[in-house]
Each structure stands twice: as C-alpha cells, then as structure tokens.
Structure 1
Amino acid sequence: MTATASINLRISDAEKALIDQAAQSMGKSRTAFILENTLRIAEEVILDRTRFTLDSDTWNELQTALDTPPSEEQVRGLGKLFATQAPWQKQ
C-alpha cells in the first residue's frame, strides 16, 4: 500500500527521545514504530467495544439464547471458529 496521507504531531523532546529509543531497540524507524503501534491500539479499541443497548424484547431473546445449551453442531462451529486466526492477526 502506498502512503499518501501524513499526520503531524507536536511532542516534547523527552517524548521524542523515548519513542526513538524504543524504535531503535526494535530495529525500526520512528515512523514504522509509531505506525505499527498506533494501528495495533486502534484495532484493539475498535474491537473491544463492548457496550451496546437492547430493548426489553431483544434482551429477553439474548438471555434465552445464552441460557440455552449449544447444540453439537454449534460446538463444532465454535471449535472451528476459535481455531481460525483473526484477519488482523495474520502476517
């Protein structure tokens, strides 16, 4: 992918030195270090969104679904799902 956008940051000399030290210790450029870590955290933030609102009927349906034991087919499906690497984890 070709980079076409830029982001400018204002940081203190101490913050810049810390970032540079960490990037150097990982054998990366400052840009690569900042980009890789920022993207990783951004994905985590988006994927970790856990708060949602349901009306009472939908809440009751969810409770029923959670209280019902899974079928053998669902268990097999979950096994397959958990054995599959997430797209954002693939190298």
Structure 2
Amino acid sequence: MARTAPRTEKLDLRLTAATKRILQTAAAASSRSVSEFLIESGLARAAETLPDRARFGLDAEQWEAFQTALDAPAKPIAALKKLLAEPSVFEQSHAK
C-alpha cells in the first residue's frame, strides 16, 4: 500500500443544512467519509478545470501558426478604437 503525505492543512466550509445532508448522503452512498468524498470530488473537478489553463500541446505546424499569430500586428477594430477613445465612466463629469 502506498503511503500518502500526512494531512496537515485544514479547510473550513460554510454550507446550508440541506447541502450538508446531500454531501453526507453522497459520501455514505460511495462508502466514504464526507472529507474523503469532498477531497476526491474536488480533486477530480480540479483535474478537469486546470489542464487547459496551465498547458497545451502543439505539433510543429500548430506551433509555427501560433507564433505567426502572436507576431502579427494587431488588426484595427473600429468599434474598439471608438470605445477606447471615449472617456470611461470614471473620467466622465457627473456635474449637470
């Protein structure tokens, strides 16, 4: 059996009684403690969420196209240029 690092960190949660009952029921249904259920579920969700935000792989052709796109000058967008030329809501005078 592989040894795991000791759990030394704590995470407190505030939740409704109904939410707590649902989590307890789900944990019991999967023969886990609520802590184990939440850790496993949270890590599974994190594994789904994080990869596309941390790394992505490209083959040589895709990498070249990516570099070309990054190096290309920005295309002018008339609507954006107009928007950025207008004073922001913080710069506008509120005096009437």
Q: Which TM-score tier does this pair reach, normalised by the shorter chain?
A: 0.5 to 0.7
User: Which among 8, 13, 28 is matched to residue 24 of structure 1?
Assistant: 28
1:40 aligned residue: 44
State the 4+ residue runs in structure 1 displaced beyond 6 angstroms: none
2:71 aligned residue: none
Give runs of aligned pairs for residues 52-67 of structure 1, distance below 5 A.
61-62=65-66
User: Which is helix-richer, 1 or 2?
Assistant: 1
Larger radius of gyration: 2
Query: What is the identity, as a one-letter code, of the residue corresponding to 1:45?
Result: T
Identify the structure with bigger relative contact order (alpha carbons < 8 Å, sequence gap 6+): 1
**What are structure 1's unaligned runs of at least 5 residues?**
53-57, 65-91
Instruction: Report percent identity of matched pairs.
Output: 33
User: Which among 13, 20, 24 is matched to residue 9 of structure 1?
Assistant: 13
Question: How many residues align structurally?
Answer: 58
The TM-score with structure 1 as length reference comes to: 0.54
**How far apart are residue 49 of structure 1 and its match?**
2.9
**How far apart are residue 47 of structure 1 and its match?**
1.1
The TM-score with structure 2 as length reference comes to: 0.52
RMSD of the TM alignment (CA)?
A: 2.9
